[in-house]
Amino acid sequence: MSTSTVDPENAVQLSESEFRSRLRELPPSAKLVAKILEIDSPLSQGQLAEESLLPDRTVRYALNRLEDSDLIGSRYSLKDARKRVYFLNDCV
C-alpha cells in the first residue's frame, strides 16, 4: 500500500470510460469497495470493512489493487492521524 499522502484536489483525474475500464479488470472485492467509496467517502479501512461486510484482509487487498490502478487516493484522517482514509479519484 502506498504511504504517500494524496491531496484530493491534486488526485489523478481519469475520464469516466478510463475509470470504468480499469475497474472492470479488478476483482469483485475491489469493485465493491469502489462502489462504497462512490456512495460515501472518505472512509477508513475499518469503516470499509464494516460497510462491505468483507474481512479486513480482503478490504486491504482491494484497497491495494485500487491504489495501484490509480482509482483511489488516500490521506491521513483529520480525526485520527494514525488512520488513513480513502476516496475515489475524480473522473473528468
Residue 80 has a CB neighbour count (10 Å cut-off) of 10
CA atoms within a 13 Å half-sphere pointing along the CA-CB vector of 73? 15
Task: Provide the 8-state DSSP code for 55.
Answer: -
Domain boundaries of the chain, sorted by first residue: 16-88
Q: What CATH code is assigned to 16-88?
A: 1.10.10.10
Per-residue pLDDT of the chain (92 residues; tens, 9 = 90+): 444 444 555 556 788 889 999 999 999 999 999 999 999 989 999 999 999 999 999 999 999 999 999 999 999 999 999 999 999 987 65
pLDDT at 71: 94
φ/ψ (deg, to 5) at 38: -65, -35
Q: Which amino acid does the sequence have at 65?
A: R
Task: Please give the distance of CA 29 from its chain centroid, rounded to a whole number.
Answer: 11
Residue with cell 480482503: 58
